[in-house]
Structure 1
Amino acid sequence: MLNVVITQSNYIPWKGYFDAIAIADYFVIFDEMQYTRRDWRNRNKIKTAQGLQWLTVPVEVKGKFFQKISDTCIAEKDWAEKHFRSIQHAYAKSPCFQEMKPMVHEWYNEAAKKTTITEVNMVFLKGIAHWLALPTVFLQSKDFDLMEDKTERLVHICKELKATDYYTGGAAKAYMNEEAFADENISVHYFDYSGYPEYPQLHGAFEHGVTILDMLFNLGSNVGEYMKFKLEK
């Protein structure tokens, strides 16, 4: 078996995204797609004493209606410093903050040097995946010859990688042409993001849909015990 996941990059995404990385032998970042505003590409949520707060990476969008995600540039130089301050304020009292702080700060220092949102996202995706000890290989869609048809693009990438299984989100059922994959002997699977256990979390009622940093600061090395790639082994 050889599992492939193909999706857009997100900014320090939630735990479900990293479970998708965990199941993949090859995780292909498909950022040769049109950038969409108010999406997960450049923002995510943290929990604070005042409620959920968005951390948004400022990007250049004015007059660039059809730019690709991979071409979307960072608009301000001090965004990383601001985000890290917000994170410190929100999580300073969490059980594992002091343990995780140096590593997260290092990621932010590295991300601050990048010029596009894809590059920023890759810093955190690779950094967190490495910390979780995931052996997944990251690739980018720009490394492949891309077809015009959306499904053909996905099938072509899977064929190039000699995939036996393709994993995607449940929303893809509405448009997925499974026959195109079956013709190449590739099985299609849909992620089930239900059933995650709750973990000790600061600031009121439990929230699943926040950045995985919330787990890192509250659980430290025990993060895996609350994720499906460990729970379902």
Structure 2
Amino acid sequence: MLFNPATTPRMKTIAIMQPYFLPYLGYFQLIAAVDKFVVLDDVNYIRGGWINRNRMLMNGAPHLFTLPLRGASQNRRICDLAVMEDNGWRDKLLRSISQAYGRAPYYTQVIALLETMLHFPNLQLDQFLLNSLQKSMQYLDLNTELGPTSRAYGNDALAGDQRIIDICIREGASDYINPIGGTGLYRHEDFQQHGIALHFLKSRPSSYSQGKHPHTAGLSILDVMMHNAPATIGQLLIEKDLL
């Protein structure tokens, strides 16, 4: 059964997404487009997905970097996993990033930010990712309200879109925004019957200088931050369409 909300006006736009480590620009466009962003952290971890890895630009080509986990399994939830204790991986990752971006115009600011993320003392994956998301949002001057854990709703027995709709109802949402990749997962009429408008966010093609290399799209926000001032990134965050 879906939660039965109080009869209050709905004037809130929300998004609900799994947490990722330094996700791509479109993830932050989604955050910038809503009043509240709910972190979906009690769903199964996806091995080979983007929860704990992303891509940076190294020698002109995309290079994968990974946040190492203890006991990663698709049978375990994101909130039940942990980042590996330090066995040198932090220093190795920082060296790789320094090699890739040491001459980038905003290297000094961004590498300092990254160091604070990587040395966050709580190794629980959900908390580690939440902290990196909060730090990124602060750097980008994004003031969207964060719902730090989907466990707060106690509705994980609901499946798929029913759970998303339930969270929308509980939040008094008038609008729900999902990335364009969700067009095959959600139907407008399922949301409309609860008074909620469903939208899909589509990023516009954007380009920025990556030094001497031709532009490579779809990299981690790390690449965007290394090459652009926060104010410039603020302009990139609005280069999107709601369908």
Asked if TM exceeds 0.5, the reply is yes
Pairing 1:143–2:155 present: no
* Paired AA for residue 213 in structure 2: G
- The structure with the greater share of residues assigned to helix is 1
- Paired with 2:134 and 2:205, the residues of 1 have a C-alpha distance of 23
After superposition, the CA RMSD in angstroms is: 2.1
- Number of the residue aligned with 1:54: 64
- Number of the residue aligned with 1:107: 117
Give unmatched runs, 5+ long, in structure 2. Answer: 1-10
Give the alignment of 1:173-212 within 5 angstroms. Answer: 173-193=183-203, 195-202=204-211, 204-212=213-221
- Paired with 1:178 and 1:231, the residues of 2 have a C-alpha distance of 17
CA contact (8 A) 1:224 1:230 kept: no
CA contact (8 A) 2:85 2:123 kept: no
* Paired AA for residue 155 in structure 1: I
* Paired AA for residue 81 in structure 2: T
Give unmatched runs, 5+ long, in structure 1. Answer: none
Residue 225 of structure 1 and its aligned partner are, at CA, apart by 2.5
Q: 2:105 aligns with which of 79, 95, 104?
A: 95
Residue 231 of structure 1 and its aligned partner are, at CA, apart by 10
CA contact (8 A) 1:48 1:203 kept: no
CA deviations over 1:15-63 (Å, ceiling 9, x no partner): 110011111211111121111111100000110116221110111336x
CA contact (8 A) 2:80 2:124 kept: yes
Pairing 1:19–2:29 present: yes
- SS of alignment partner, residue 191 of structure 1: strand
Pairing 1:162–2:172 present: yes
What TM-score does the superposition give when structure 1 sets the normalisation length? 0.90
Q: Give the total of aligned pairs.
A: 228
CA contact (8 A) 2:20 2:51 kept: yes
Q: What percentage of aligned pairs have identical amino acids?
A: 24
- Number of the residue aligned with 2:137: 129
Residue 201 of structure 1 and its aligned partner are, at CA, apart by 0.5
CA contact (8 A) 1:2 1:25 kept: yes
Pairing 1:74–2:78 present: no
- Paired with 1:43 and 1:203, the residues of 2 have a C-alpha distance of 25
CA contact (8 A) 1:99 1:220 kept: no
- Paired with 1:65 and 1:176, the residues of 2 have a C-alpha distance of 23
- Paired with 2:211 and 2:218, the residues of 1 have a C-alpha distance of 14
- SS of alignment partner, residue 99 of structure 2: helix
* Paired AA for residue 74 in structure 1: V
CA deviations over 1:136-176 (Å, ceiling 9, x no partner): 11111011021422211111111111100000022222121
CA contact (8 A) 2:161 2:185 kept: no
CA contact (8 A) 2:16 2:39 kept: yes
Mean alpha-carbon deviation: is it higher for 202-211 or for 16-25?
202-211
* Paired AA for residue 206 in structure 2: P
What TM-score does the superposition give when structure 2 sets the normalisation length? 0.86
